[in-house]
Amino acid sequence: MRVALQTLGCRVNEAEIERWSREFRAAGHQVVPPSENPELVVLNSCAVTQEAVRKSRGLLRRIHREHPAAKLVLSGCYATLSPSAAAALGVDLVVANSEKDRLLERVEQELAVATMPAMAADPDQGSLLLPVNRHRAFVKVQDGCRYRCTFCIVTVARGAERSRPPADVVDEINTLHASGVEEVVLTGVHLGGYGSDLGQGLDQLVRTVLDRTAIPRLRFGSIEPWDLPEAFLELWRSPRLMPHLHLPLQSGCDATLRRMARRCKTRDYRRLVDQARAAIPELNITTDVIVGFPGETDQEWEASLAFIRDCGFGHVHIFPYSPREGTKAAELPGAVPPETQKARALSLREAAMEARRAFQARCVGQRVEVLIEGDLKKAGADEIRSLSGYSPNYLRVGVETFPPPTAGSRIMTVEITGTDPQRDTLLGRSIPAADRRTPPA
């Protein structure tokens, strides 16, 4: 059967989609793009905001229009929070978050989906298990969250914290590596809470992965700042752990943070940022910020903006607040007008871009290992070829290389020669193996 997999929302959803892709292929199904007439469509939905719910419902309707004969399976947070409403949109099967690990099994049992013989798709044949030209993969190691930030519905949708056994994580990473993946991103709804149900911490999992796999590059998804003890930074003694941390801030004002029920004050957050930068060379710290949270006064906003400017983030994901039914924040007084939210988001975007470009400028002249993920333009065998990829600290790099890289590793030594503000990338040139011991001029 031809199966199309689509997702909205977070990195955890992406990790689940990648795993389903491997499972469907291993079971003998053909995973295809939505444009190639699928017979089954699986949508991993999102419900983190009302806008995400609207997009999930809209995508469901579009799938029906474009593939009226296909069976439709809906999973994810919208499916979990609103199963009746989802089923009313003509979904053939609703799979709640708690059943995601059994999605393929339920599809085959309840939709009577035929499979090919088991030997038709050998799980050890990595080329069958991954999309073409994928060299970075997301691996979900944890689900659920024990905290209750007042703006967040995900804790309701995802339920109690559940951690995967380290052996399962190791096996998945080794399978991915054998399939050509050279970078793995560990993800979870509350990633820093990994192991709360296993009697161990995320640091122990990382050490196990480093010891029992040979994956060249390892990253973290989003980690709440209060989950990182000082000893955690010692993990970066391994060069295989990439120097990038995404630490959600949400606001740079303590009064706003209290209304959000966040567990980290600004002074503690700044102390962690300083410690991390002192311990990890070339560290890139990125964050999330909610603009226009209920009750956010002009004074609170100015304090938040000043704090964010002072932190000098490499990137800021900006989210204008929108009420989410079922959360405490939706009942708070002091709604910020949309025009005020828009103005604040614009000023934050300008400040964030200034900090990002300053961080990019500091990278010029460095030599870094870039994981090549795609071409910027095609070139003949005798021409300079432009490639693109990500530096260890998760900055996009456009790379000029001659001759083109051969088959094998997609990790390339690159000297950063400049920046391209229009494309928001670094620029670099590949360093031939014979020249890699010579420092740049």
Residue 38 lies in a domain: yes
Same-domain pairing of 102 and 210: no
Asked whether residue 181 falls in the same domain as residue 301, the answer is: yes
CATH number at residue 232: 3.80.30.20
Q: What are the residues facing 41 on neighbouring strands? A: 4, 72
Residue 367: CB atoms within 10 Å: 15
pLDDT above 70: percentage of residues in the chain: 89
441, 387 Cβ separation under 8 angstroms: no
Same domain? For 193 and 340 the reply is: yes
- Torsion, Cα 177 180 182 183, to 10 degrees, reads -80
Query: Nearest-CA neighbor of 254 among 293, 208, 215?
Result: 293
Domain edge (last residue) among 336, 362, 388: 362
286 and 411 part of one domain: no
Residues 208 and 342 in one domain: yes
Whether residue 440 lies inside any domain: the answer is no
Which pLDDT score, from 0 to 100, does residue 20 have?
93
Same domain, 289 and 308: yes
Residue whose token pair is 């590596």:
177
**Which ranges constitute the DSSP H helices of 222-337?**
254-260, 266-279, 298-311
Domain identity same for 225 and 318: yes
Residues 397 and 340 in one domain: no
Domain contains 308: yes
- Tell me if 250 is assigned to some domain: yes
Q: What is the pLDDT of residue 384?
A: 54
CATH of the domain at 415: 2.40.50
Report yes or no on 123 lying in a domain.
no
Which of 86, 118, 150 terminates a domain? The answer is 118
Same domain, 216 and 300: yes
- Residue 291 inside a domain? The answer is yes
Note down the domain range covering 325.
133-362
- The pLDDT assigned to 408 comes to 58
Task: Identify how many contiguous H helices and E strands the chain contains and give both numbers.
Answer: 12, 17
Q: Which residues contact 317 (CB under 8 A, 6 or more apart)?
A: 286, 287, 288, 289
- Can you say how many angstroms the Cα of residue 173 is from the centroid of all Cα atoms in its chain? 16
Residue 64 lies in a domain: yes
3-state SS class at 416: strand
Q: Within this chain, do residues 238 and 348 fall inside the same structural domain, yes or no?
A: yes
Q: Compute φ and ψ for 48, nearest 5 degrees.
A: -65, -30
Per the domain annotation, does 216 fall within a domain? yes
Looking at the structure, tell me whether residues 174 and 323 fall in a common domain.
yes
Please identify every stretch of the chain with a pLDDT value under 50, giving residue numbers as ranges.
115-133, 376, 378-379, 381-382, 438-441
Q: How many domains does the chain have?
A: 3
Q: Pick the last residue of a domain from 362, 393, 419.
A: 362
CATH number for the domain that contains residue 85 = 3.40.50.2300
Pairing between β-strand 396-401 and β-strand 385-390 as defined by DSSP bridges: antiparallel
Whether residues 422 and 284 share a domain: the answer is no
